[in-house]
């Protein structure tokens, strides 16, 4: 009998994961949107459930019918969703970009005999996996990654499209950025330290600080310098900084013609239309992971580069592929019995196991998500 997998969320990434996994597993997709579910059922025969994950007691009972749950809910629902699945005693993979620290759920996961692989998308996710793997091969002094998903057509004014909820992107733009410098946690304003970086296929992009390191700040304590930046087309972040300075991301209600409105809710509503990535919009994902340190006593720089585009045959976006397939790689790796430890595991704690790293990299390569590795002397 095939293992039973429940995927919470049938948006662009959730659909890609369901389509990928239904070839080998008994997949059920759950979402509040009947339209998204109908597509999966009609085109791929995937079982579906119209479901509101915020019905926590119902969610706790629902997950007990499955061998593994993948959570692809918006970030603001992520922590409670993961906690509820753990309380249901079911193993899980999570890709939600939540503000909370899921490591706080480690004892609960162990108590409930649950393996929870968290932050397992393209980023956070793959840089963590790579860091965990390379940390077993070299003495790392500096670790940095840069990542962005962008439309091929640059449309005024933002030159940006989002394959997920704009509220998660706004969170990325407004959460203070943390990184490690000489083993000390440094906090800087989001969108600070902008710089222009050239990429062979993507051209010149603008990099800026965001709070994407997540668990890496706490788990790989032997690495003294760790940083992360987001990539956008040049000029985009100046517009976002202007919106922030004008108060459009504020959570404090303002009175508009007798009604109290949170500016961030208003902004999210507008940007949802402006940033909506249509199913066949061409876009790409670019990422560079750079590690510097010693290998066998020699100073080396190891770089992993990713460039991935919208896939025409499957009509699946690059961001859905690179994010979703990382999660399905982890899910398949777990279901194939390569990892069985109990607790909360960000990908860097998976990557230190070479068999798990090799499995996931091969899984991605089979789906034409290719990470190119180069090593040079420094």
Dihedral over alpha carbons 336, 339, 341, 345 (to 10 degrees): -120
Residues 186 and 81 in one domain: no
Range of the domain at 269: 126-309
Q: What is the mean pLDDT of the chain?
A: 95
Residues 241 and 191 in one domain: yes
Give the pLDDT of residue 169. Answer: 87
Taking 80 as the threshold, does the pLDDT of residue 372 lie above it?
Answer: yes
Helix, strand, coil percentages, rounded to 5, for the chain: 35, 30, 35
Asked if residue 78 belongs to a domain, the reply is yes
Give the pLDDT of residue 2. Answer: 94
Taking 90 as the threshold, does the pLDDT of residue 165 lie above it?
Answer: no
Q: Which CATH number does the domain housing residue 257 bear?
A: 3.30.360.10
- Tokens for 171? 């969170």
The pTM of the full predicted model, rounded to 2 decimals, is 0.94
Give the pLDDT of residue 310. Answer: 95
Residues 92 and 22 in one domain: yes
Q: Which of 309, 330, 352 is the last residue of a domain?
A: 309
Residues 135 and 233 in one domain: yes
Q: What is the pLDDT of residues 173-198, one digit of tens each?
A: 999 999 999 999 999 999 999 999 99
Asked if residue 350 belongs to a domain, the reply is yes
Over residues 205-209, the mean pLDDT reads: 97
Q: Which CATH number does the domain housing residue 338 bear?
A: 3.40.50.720
Residues 157 and 117 in one domain: no
Residues 197 and 295 in one domain: yes
CA distance 225 to 310: 34
Asked if residue 257 belongs to a domain, the reply is yes
Residues 70 and 116 in one domain: yes
Q: Which residue has the higher pLDDT, 163 or 88?
A: 88
Lowest-confidence segment of 103-112, 161-170, 216-225 by average pLDDT: 161-170
Is the Cα dihedral 56, 60, 66, 69 positive or negative? Answer: positive
Residues 111 and 214 in one domain: no
Asked if residue 223 belongs to a domain, the reply is yes
Taking 90 as the threshold, does the pLDDT of residue 273 lie above it?
Answer: no
Residues 347 and 265 in one domain: no
Asked if residue 376 belongs to a domain, the reply is no
User: Nearest-CA neighbor of 195 among 154, 157, 243, 146?
Assistant: 146
Give the pLDDT of residue 185. Answer: 95
- Across the chain, the runs of DSSP E, i.e. the strands, are 4-8, 26-31, 47-50, 68-71, 91-94, 115-117, 139-151, 177-181, 184-188, 195-199, 203-209, 225-232, 254-256, 259-261, 283-295, 298-309, 343-345, 371-377
- Number of domains within the chain: 2
* CB contact at 8 A, 251 and 262: yes
Length of the chain: 378
Residues 45 and 167 in one domain: no
Q: What is the pLDDT of residues 331-352, one digit of tens each?
A: 999 999 999 999 999 999 999 9
Give the pLDDT of residue 274. Answer: 87
What's the pLDDT band for 166 if we cut at 50, 70, 90? confident
What's the pLDDT band for 99 if we cut at 50, 70, 90? confident
Q: Which of 309, 328, 355 is the last residue of a domain?
A: 309
Residues 215 and 151 in one domain: yes
Contacts of 256 by beta carbon, 8 Å cutoff, 6+ apart = none
Asked if residue 281 belongs to a domain, the reply is yes
Instruction: Express as a percent the part of the chain with pLDDT over 70.
Output: 99
Asked if residue 263 belongs to a domain, the reply is yes
Contacts of 315 by beta carbon, 8 Å cutoff, 6+ apart = 279, 280
Residues 167 and 273 in one domain: yes
CA distance 225 to 107: 28
Give the pLDDT of residue 58. Answer: 97
Asked if residue 82 belongs to a domain, the reply is yes
Give the pLDDT of residue 154. Answer: 93
Q: Residue 279 to residues 15, 74, 313: CA-CA distances in angstroms? A: 11, 19, 13
Give the pLDDT of residue 117. Answer: 98
Computed on alpha carbons and rounded to an integer, the radius of gyration of the chain in Å comes to 20
Give the pLDDT of residue 278. Answer: 83
């Amino acid at each position: 009998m095939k293992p039973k997998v429940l995927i919470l969320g049938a948006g662009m990434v959730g659909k890609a994961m369901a389509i990928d996994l239904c070839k080998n597993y008994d997949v059920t997709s759950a979402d509040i949107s009947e339209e998204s579910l109908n597509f999966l059922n009609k085109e791929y025969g995937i079982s579906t459930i119209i479901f509101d994950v915020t019905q926590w007691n119902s969610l706790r009972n629902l997950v007990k019918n499955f061998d593994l749950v993948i959570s692809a809910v918006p970030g603001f629902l992520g922590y409670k969703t993961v906690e509820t699945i753990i309380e249901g005693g079911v193993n899980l993979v999570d890709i939600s970009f939540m503000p909370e620290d899921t490591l706080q759920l480690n004892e609960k996961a162990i108590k409930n005999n649950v393996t929870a692989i968290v932050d397992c998308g393209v980023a956070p996710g793959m840089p963590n996996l790579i860091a965990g793997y390379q940390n077993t091969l070299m003495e790392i002094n500096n670790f940095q990654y840069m990542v962005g998903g962008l439309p091929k057509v640059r449309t005024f004014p933002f030159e940006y499209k989002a394959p997920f909820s704009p509220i998660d992107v706004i969170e990325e733009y407004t959460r203070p950025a943390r990184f490690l410098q000489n083993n000390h946690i440094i906090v800087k304003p989001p969108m600070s330290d902008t710089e222009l970086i050239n990429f062979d296929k993507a051209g010149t992009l603008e990099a800026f600080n965001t709070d994407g390191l997540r668990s890496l700040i706490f788990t790989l304590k032997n690495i003294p310098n760790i940083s992360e930046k987001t990539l956008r087309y040049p000029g985009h972040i100046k517009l976002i900084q202007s919106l922030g300075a004008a108060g459009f991301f504020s959570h404090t209600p303002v009175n508009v013609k007798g009604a109290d409105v949170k500016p961030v809710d208003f902004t999210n509503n507008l940007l949802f239309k402006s940033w909506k990535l249509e199913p066949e919009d061409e876009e790409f994902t670019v990422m560079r992971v750079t590690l510097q340190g010693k290998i066998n006593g020699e100073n080396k720089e190891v770089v992993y580069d990713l460039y991935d585009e919208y896939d025409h045959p499957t009509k699946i976006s690059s961001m859905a592929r690179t994010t979703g397939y990382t999660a399905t790689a982890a899910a398949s790796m777990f279901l194939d019995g390569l990892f069985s430890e109990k607790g909360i595991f960000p990908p860097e704690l998976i990557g230190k196991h070479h068999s798990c790293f090799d499995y996931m990299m091969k899984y991605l390569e089979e789906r034409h998500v290719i990470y190119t590795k180069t090593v040079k002397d420094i």
